[in-house]
Structure 1
C-alpha cells in the first residue's frame, strides 16, 4: 500500500523534530513572559497572534527569543522541515529578526549625554562614565561642536582600556538646529535620555581685548542660554528617574555676593521664573554696553554672571521636577543639581596654576551624577558639599535613589 503523501511537505521524522522544537522553546518563552502557539501542522510560528508581549519589560525576553531564532545553529535544525518557498520566507524573516534584535538591544540601553565631552573636564566626565556605568545597559554620548575633535578624543579614550567607548555626535548647544538633531538622534536610536551632563562652557581670559559687551554676550550666550537650550530641547525624551547635572562654578556664588542686594533678592525670590531670569541675563548684557556694571549693581565678571544663571536655572528645573512637571510627558523621579568641579587645569582655566587636574574635577561631577540624592536636589555643591545660597524652595524627596536608577532596566 503506497504511503500517504506527507502533508505540507513534512515527513514524520521532521514532524517529530518540529514538535520537540516547539514544545521546548514554547516552554522557554512562557518562562520569559511570552505566549506562543503552534499551527495545525505543529510548525512553530512567530506571528502577531502566537507571540504577544505582555508588558514593556518583556522586550528583553523578546530579544532572547529573536536571538535564538536568528542564530544559524538553531535555524539549521529546522530548515529541513520546510518547502523551498517556505525556506525563502523564513530566510527573509531571519534577516529581519537579526536586524530587530540589534534595534531592541540598542533601545534597551540607558543613555548618558555629556556636552563638550571632547576635552578638559568634559573629556574626564566621559571617560569616567564609560568606566563606572554598566556597559551592558548603558551607552555614553560624547557631544562636540567639531566632530573631528570628538574623533581625536575617541582615539585617546581607546588607549585607556575602557570597558566601553562613547558614541561621538555633533552638538553645538548655542545652535537650535544642532540641539534638535541630537535629540532626534537619541530618540530614534535609543528611545530616550537618562542622564544629561551640561558641561559645555566658555570663559574669556583675564587679558581679553574684546569689549565687555562682547564678553557678556558670548559668555552668557554659551553658559546660560546654551545650557538652557540643550536642556529644554531634550526634556521631551527624558525618561523616569532621569538626571540633569550642570557644571557650575564657585564663581556663581561669588557673582551673587558681588551683585546689589536688589538684584540678589530678585534671583533668590520665590517668584523667580525663567522669563524673569532670562530678562535679568539680557539686562546684564545691555548694561555691559555702558562699561559700568559695578555701578549698576552687577558683577564685573561676565563668567560669574553666567554661572549665577546656571545655579538659578538648576533651582527652577528642580522645582518643576519635584512636581513631575519639568517635562511635557510628566517624567517622574527626576534629579537636578549642579556643582563646582574646582579650579582645574584646562584650556579654559584662568591665570596662575590651578591646583586640580581636569580628571580630579571630573570626579566631582561624576560622583554627583551617580550618587546625588534628595539632599542634593536643586542644590549647588562645592567639594561634594551643598552650599546654602538661600533659595526658598524645599523639596519633597521624590527623586529615584541612585542604585535603583542605575539598575532598573529601560521601561
Structure 2
C-alpha cells in the first residue's frame, strides 16, 4: 500500500499520547499511516484497536512495541522507516515514566530520567536524520522546562549546549541524586524540573544545528507544553483538577502545531505552549510549596 505521510508517537498507549494518535488518525489522509508505540505489546494492541474503531478515524493506524530507553531499538525503527518509506513526517516524543509522591524522588529518578530524557535523546538522534522535508519533530515537555527554573549555577550546563553536553549534564545530575548530594548542590528537589529543562535544552541543541536547512524545507523541531492534563501521571501531584484539560483537549494545540501548513520560524527550536513561545530564560527556581502547583 502506498503511504503518503507517516506519523509516530511514543508513549501512546494512554493519556496525551493516545489522544495525539486519535487526533492524527482523524485529521490525516486515508493514505497516511500513524504508528502508535509503547512498551507493552498488549496495551499497544488494545490501543490500536480503540483508535481503529473510532468513528472519526481516517488514516491507517498500526502499533509498534518500542521501549524508548533502548536506544538501539529506537534507531532500528528509524532505520526501518527510512528503508521502507524513505523517512518519516511527524514524530512526537511523548513517553514518560510515572512519578508518585509516595516514594522518594531518588528512588524513582533512574527510571524517570531514562524514559523522559534518555528516550527524548534517542528519538532526537535517530529520527532527526530520517525526518523528511516538511516534517515535524516534537518533544512533549512542560512550562517547567525553562532555564529560569534552575539555580543560576547550572545555567551554563544547558544554555547553548550541544546534545552531548546536555546528556553529560543529565548524567552529572543523576550522579548527584545517587550520591544524595543533589539538593545540597542546588538542584531542585522535584526531579521533574531538571528533567524538563534538559528536554528543552536537547531540542534547542538539535535545532541549532538544523535551523537554516529545516526552515528552508518547512520543517519544525520544537518542544511543546500541553498545559495541565488530567492523566494518571499528573493526578498525584495536583489537589485541584477543575481547570485541567482532558487529554483530547490538550492534544488540540499540539495537533495544530504538528499539522500547520507552514512553520512559524519564531517557534523553531523553542518551547511552545498553546501556539505561543515560552521564553527560554523564563521562570524561577521552585520552592517546596511551588513545586506542587507548577504546570
Please give the per-residue CA displacement for 1:353-403, whole angstroms capped at 9, x wherever unaligned.
431111111112212212352121111122332111149xxxxxxxxxxxx
C-alpha distance in structure 2 between counterparts of 1:252 and 1:343, whole Å: 14
Q: Does the 8 A contact of 1:202 with 1:219 survive in 2?
A: yes
Q: Does the 8 A contact of 1:321 with 1:333 survive in 2?
A: no
Q: Does the 8 A contact of 1:321 with 1:332 survive in 2?
A: no
* Closer/same/farther in 2, CA of residues 236 and 257 from structure 1, 3 Å limit: closer
The partner residue of 1:216 within 109, 114, 130 is: 109
2:270 matched residue in structure 1:
379
Q: Does the 8 A contact of 1:117 with 1:142 survive in 2?
A: yes
C-alpha distance in structure 1 between counterparts of 2:77 and 2:114, whole Å: 19
Equivalent residue runs for 1:4-403 within 5 Å: 102=1, 105-106=2-3, 109-136=4-31, 138-161=32-55, 162-209=57-104, 212=106, 214-253=107-146, 256-268=147-159, 270=160, 272-324=161-213, 332-349=217-234, 350-351=236-237, 352-354=239-241, 355-371=244-260, 372-390=263-281
TM-score, normalised via structure 1 length: 0.62
Question: In angstroms, what is the RMSD of aligned CA positions?
Answer: 2.2
C-alpha distance in structure 1 between counterparts of 2:162 and 2:233, whole Å: 30
Give the 3-state SS of the residue equivalent to 1:182 in structure 2.
Answer: helix
Q: Does the 8 A contact of 2:74 with 2:123 survive in 1?
A: yes
C-alpha distance in structure 1 between counterparts of 2:61 and 2:102, whole Å: 36
C-alpha distance in structure 2 between counterparts of 1:133 and 1:202, whole Å: 28
Structure with larger Rg: 1
C-alpha distance in structure 2 between counterparts of 1:188 and 1:259, whole Å: 41
C-alpha distance in structure 2 between counterparts of 1:284 and 1:263, whole Å: 10
Task: Using the TM superposition, give the Cα deviation of residue 168 of structure 1 relative to its aligned residue in structure 2, in angstroms.
Answer: 0.8
Give the aligned length: 275
Please give the per-residue CA displacement for 1:211-238, whole angstroms capped at 9, x wherever unaligned.
61x4222211111111111221223322
C-alpha distance in structure 1 between counterparts of 2:8 and 2:162, whole Å: 26
C-alpha distance in structure 2 between counterparts of 1:177 and 1:296, whole Å: 33
Task: Using the TM superposition, give the Cα deviation of residue 281 of structure 1 relative to its aligned residue in structure 2, in angstroms.
Answer: 0.6
TM-score, normalised via structure 2 length: 0.85
Q: Does the 8 A contact of 1:245 with 1:368 survive in 2?
A: no
C-alpha distance in structure 2 between counterparts of 1:174 and 1:284, whole Å: 18
Task: Using the TM superposition, give the Cα deviation of residue 246 of structure 1 relative to its aligned residue in structure 2, in angstroms.
Answer: 1.0
Q: Does the 8 A contact of 1:130 with 1:163 survive in 2?
A: yes
Q: Does the 8 A contact of 2:143 with 2:278 survive in 1?
A: no
Q: Does the 8 A contact of 1:197 with 1:244 survive in 2?
A: yes
Give the 3-state SS of the residue equivalent to 1:200 in structure 2.
Answer: coil
List gaps (5 residues or longer) in structure 2. 283-295
Give the 3-state SS of the residue equivalent to 1:221 in structure 2.
Answer: helix
Q: Does the 8 A contact of 1:203 with 1:303 survive in 2?
A: no
C-alpha distance in structure 1 between counterparts of 2:50 and 2:143, whole Å: 30
Task: Using the TM superposition, give the Cα deviation of residue 293 of structure 1 relative to its aligned residue in structure 2, in angstroms.
Answer: 2.3
Q: Does the 8 A contact of 1:322 with 1:333 survive in 2?
A: no
